[in-house]
C-alpha cells in the first residue's frame, strides 16, 4: 500500500490526501478517515489510477457527492477515489443530454428544462451525481433513470472503459447490474424530448417546493433511507409505527419525513445503523413488512 501511495503522490494521478476524514465528503456529515483520498483532475488520470490500483491489487471505493452513502466510523481502507472536476461535464446533443458521472443530477434537470427538454423533471429533487443516479436507478414522482437512459460509459475495475446500453443494466426498482458488477459511471446519455418550457419549469418548481416543505433539508441527511416495499410507502409505515422523532445518540428519525434519518449534530455511523435496525424491527413487528435500506454502507465498522 505504501508503495502505491508513493506513486500516487507524484502528482500525475491528481490530488492525494492521506487519512482524510470522510465526514466532510458526505451529506450525512458522518464517517471516519480514508487511508488515501484520491481526486483525479481529468478522466485520463482517473483511468490510469484505476489501472494502477488493479495491477497492485489495492482495494478502492468510489465517492461522488456522498448523498446516498453511510461511511463507517473507522473509515475506509485502501484508496477512496472521489469524482470531482474530472467528470463534472455536460453537453446537449439534440434531444439528448450527456453528462459526466460527477455532474449534479438536480442541476442536470434544470439545464434540460432551460433547453426545453422534458423527461428529467423527476430529478429536480434527487441529490447526488449522475453516476450515482445511474447506479441506483434513482427515481421519483413516477419516473426513474431506466425510462430515459440511452447509454452509460463505465470504467471497469480493470481500468478498461465499457459502454452499457439501457438493456445491459438489468434495471429494476432502485437496482442496476452495477450493484453486482462494480464500476465507475464516467458519462451517461439521457434521451429526452422537446416539450413546453413553461410546463417543464412549473413541474420543476412544484417538485422543489414540495421537497422544501416535506424534507428536513436544514439538517445533514442522506435522502430516503429505505426502499418502498411493494404496495407500501416506507415513510408511511415508519410513521404509523410511531417512530417519528425516535433517537439513537445524535441520529433521529425526522419528525418532518419518517423515511429520513437526520444528523442532529454529533451522530455516528453506529448511531444511524442502530436506528436503522430498530426501525426495521419495529415495522416488521407491527406490519409484517421487512424494510430494506437503500443507502450504501461502506467502510470498516
174 is catalytic: yes
Report the Cα–Cα distance between both ends of the chain, in Å, rounded. 21
Q: How far apart are CA 277 and CA 129, in angstroms?
A: 27
Active site residue 294: yes
Residue tagged active-site, from 151, 174, 189, 252: 174
114-147 burial, b at 16+ Cβ within 10 Å, e below that, comes to eebbbbbbbbbbbbbbbbbbbbbbbbbeeebbbe
Angle at 16 between CA 10 and CA 18, to 5 degrees: 115
Cα–Cα distances in Å, from 246 out to 70, 103, 115, 200, 282? 19, 34, 44, 38, 11
Q: Is 300 a catalytic residue?
A: no
Query: In angstroms, rounded to a whole number, what is the distance separating the alpha carbons of residues 113 and 196?
Result: 9
Q: Of the listed 104, 224, 252, 254, which one is catalytic?
A: 224
Task: Spell out the residues 6+ positions from residue 257 whose beta carbon is closer than 8 angstroms to its own.
Answer: 214, 215, 216, 235
Interhelix angle for 197-214 vs 105-114, to 10°? 150
- Helix boundaries (H) for the chain: 2-8, 43-55, 105-114, 130-136, 197-214, 234-240, 269-287
The rounded distance, in Å, linking the Cα atoms of 141 and 90 is: 24
Beta bridge partners of 91: 98
Looking at 20, 153, 189, 294, which residue is catalytic?
Answer: 294
CA-wise closest residue to 141 among 172, 163, 119: 119
Give the span between the Cα atoms of 123 and 110, in whole angstroms.
9
Which grid cell sits at 128? 447526488
Residues involved in catalysis: 174, 224, 294
Amino acid at each position: 500500500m505504501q508503495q502505491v501511495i508513493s506513486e500516487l503522490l507524484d502528482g500525475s494521478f491528481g490530488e492525494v490526501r492521506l487519512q482524510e476524514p470522510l465526514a466532510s465528503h458526505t451529506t450525512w456529515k458522518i464517517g471516519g478517515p480514508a487511508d488515501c483520498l484520491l481526486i483525479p483532475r481529468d478522466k485520463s488520470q482517473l483511468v490510469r489510477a484505476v489501472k494502477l490500483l488493479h495491477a497492485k491489487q489495492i482495494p478502492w471505493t468510489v465517492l461522488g457527492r456522498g448523498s446516498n452513502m453511510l461511511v463507517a466510523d473507522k473509515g475506509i481502507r485502501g484508496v477512496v477515489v472521489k469524482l470531482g472536476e474530472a467528470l463534472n461535464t455536460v453537453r446537449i446533443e439534440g434531444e439528448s443530454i450527456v453528462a459526466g458521472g460527477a455532474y449534479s443530477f438536480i442541476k442536470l434537470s434544470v439545464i434540460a428544462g432551460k433547453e426545453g427538454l422534458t423527461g428529467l423533471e423527476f430529478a429536480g429533487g434527487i441529490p447526488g451525481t449522475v453516476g450515482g443516479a445511474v447506479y441506483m436507478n434513482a427515481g421519483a414522482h413516477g419516473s426513474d433513470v431506466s425510462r430515459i437512459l440511452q447509454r452509460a460509459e463505465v470504467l471497469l475495475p480493470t481500468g478498461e472503459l465499457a459502454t452499457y446500453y439501457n438493456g445491459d443494466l438489468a434495471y429494476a426498482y432502485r437496482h442496476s447490474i452495477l450493484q453486482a458488477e462494480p464500476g465507475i459511471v464516467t458519462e451517461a446519455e439521457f434521451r429526452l424530448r422537446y416539450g413546453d418550457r413553461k410546463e417543464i419549469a412549473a413541474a420543476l418548481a412544484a417538485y422543489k417546493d414540495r421537497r422544501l416543505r416535506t424534507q428536513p433539508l436544514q439538517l445533514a441527511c442522506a435522502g430516503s433511507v429505505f426502499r418502498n416495499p411493494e404496495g407500501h410507502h416506507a415513510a408511511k409505515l415508519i410513521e404509523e409505527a410511531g417512530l417519528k422523532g425516535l433517537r439513537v445518540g445524535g441520529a433521529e428519525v425526522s419528525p418532518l419525513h419518517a423515511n429520513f434519518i437526520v444528523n442532529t449534530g454529533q451522530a455516528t455511523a453506529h448511531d444511524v445503523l442502530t436506528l436503522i435496525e430498530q426501525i426495521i424491527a419495529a415495522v416488521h413487528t407491527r406490519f409484517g413488512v421487512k424494510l430494506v435500506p437503500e443507502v450504501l454502507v461502506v467502510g470498516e465498522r
